[in-house]
Amino acid sequence: MHFEVEEKYVFSVLGNDHGHVKRALAEHRELKQLFQCIKEDERNNGLIESIGVPYLI
């Protein structure tokens, strides 16, 4: 939610060519990828636990 609000309202004022906007957009992409990896890890951990191999976590 934070990213969407920032990108819609703040970045539209500064413009996509502004250095800080470019950096923030790159950071947003990296953070979104990190969050997705964390979700996948949690899902995989749940699958591993459900088949009875908790020591692999």
Residue matched to tokens 């990828």: 33
At 39 the pLDDT is 87
At 54 the pLDDT is 55
At 49 the pLDDT is 74
Residue matched to tokens 């500064």: 14
For the chain, which residues make up each domain, given as ranges? 2-56
Distance CA 57, CA 49 (A): 8
Distance CA 4, CA 39 (A): 20
Please report, in tens digits, the pLDDT of each residue of the chain (57 residues total).
789 999 999 999 999 899 999 999 999 999 999 999 888 888 887 777 777 655 555
Does this model's pTM top 0.75? My answer is no
Three-state SS at 52: coil
At 42 the pLDDT is 83
